A and B are shown apart, each in its own frame.
Chain A
Amino acid sequence: MKTERKRRITQLAAALGFNLDLLSLARGQISQTPTKGICLPALNCYSCPAAIGACPVGALQNALNALRYNLGVGQKKLGLYVLGSLGLMGAIGGRLPCGWLCPFGWLQELINKIPGPKIQIPSVLTYLRYVILILLVLLLPLLLVDASGLGLPWFCKWLCPAGTLEAGVLLAMLNPAIRSQLGFLFAWKLAILVFFLVWMVLSERPFCRVVCPLGTILGFFNRVSLFRMRVDLGRCILCQACQKACPVNIRIYENPDSERCLRCLKCEPVCPTSCIDHGFWLAEKKTEGKTPVRV
């Protein structure tokens, strides 16, 4: 089976598997399954009625915004479980879940298939995700707290379109009690969602490239993860076919461990010399480090 076909099937299976509690969805209430304590390797809002796991970005913010309160009352809940879960995901696959498992990433790929003008995202915008991670996910939840020491999940509250789509819109449609409480914040988040939906038509994976804190965290691990990309530079002819196929527009032959690489493997089948490879490797390959030959 072709890699791209396998990836599509995996993305579909992950989207369904992460949102398996259809009974809760039908009732318009969020799932109460015991598995919701497990951090999923994807940006999948835990307030989605059918979600059977926790969003690691939401869980991280909640661990941080309760940290000062917990320390104040003598509870040693430091968010180690969430940090460890993120570290484990990253150490095993790096951004592999972005390319193969994340339902919001998959949605972006599907919407980008809508015909229309396509625009490249300026590379300077891709640095915004570091600001968002540091400011909205780490610092503000930790530092801006009320008198009791509790803060807010700033990223979820003001920016995350995945939460609006998977949880806000769904619950507003299914649950009259929630629908009656919608106000300015919902309108703001809906506007952000619409903005990203339009951007998804125009550009490939705009949310992953410009905003996603989970992808940014997992990207740090691309350099050390068990799963890795490898380019045989002795066979690379610098034809740029890999860059043209890449949804995030990187040159994999310059840095196979690039933290922007989603590990979607779209570059592999288009390579005319089959010099790109992937796998769970630890040993270096002898051909690495050679200079590519331009033809």
Chain B
Amino acid sequence: MNRRRFWTFFWLGLSVIFILAGLLSGEFRVVWQKAVTVCLECIGIG
């Protein structure tokens, strides 16, 4: 396996593990909660 292929699969695998770990700890809900609330900083109020 060449070096590039190794790092491609390393990052793909690590990313999937991170996503699953994040989903299991309820982070999808945290992102959603923030995204459905008007971000005062983004719009230039807060």
Residues of chain A at the chain B interface (Cβ within 8 Å): 30-32, 34, 36-37, 39, 45-47, 51, 53-55, 58-59, 62-63, 66, 76-88, 90-92, 152-153, 156-157, 160, 163-164, 167-168, 171-172, 178, 181-183, 185-190, 221, 223-226, 282-284
Minimal beta-carbon separation of A227 from chain B (angstroms): 10
Asked if B8 and A282 make an inter-chain contact with CB atoms under 8 angstroms apart, the answer reads yes
Provide the residues of chain A in CB contact with B4, threshold 8 Å. Answer: 223-224, 282, 284
Interface class of chain B by DSSP: helix
Asked if B43 and A172 make an inter-chain contact with CB atoms under 8 angstroms apart, the answer reads yes
Provide the residues of chain B in CB contact with A91, threshold 8 Å. Answer: 8, 11-12, 15
A37-B35, A84-B14 are known contacts; what are 8 more A-B pairs with Cβ within 8 Å? A36-B35, A80-B19, A88-B16, A90-B11, A157-B46, A163-B39, A181-B45, A283-B5
A55 to B39, CA, bound (A): 11
Minimal beta-carbon separation of B2 from chain A (angstroms): 6
Partner of A80, one of B25, B34, B41: B25
Asked if A77 and B27 make an inter-chain contact with CB atoms under 8 angstroms apart, the answer reads yes
Task: Give 25 CB contacts A-B under 8 Å.
Answer: A37-B28, A45-B42, A46-B34, A46-B39, A47-B38, A59-B31, A77-B30, A79-B22, A80-B25, A80-B27, A81-B18, A81-B21, A82-B22, A84-B14, A90-B11, A153-B42, A156-B39, A157-B41, A163-B43, A163-B44, A164-B44, A167-B38, A185-B46, A226-B12, A282-B2
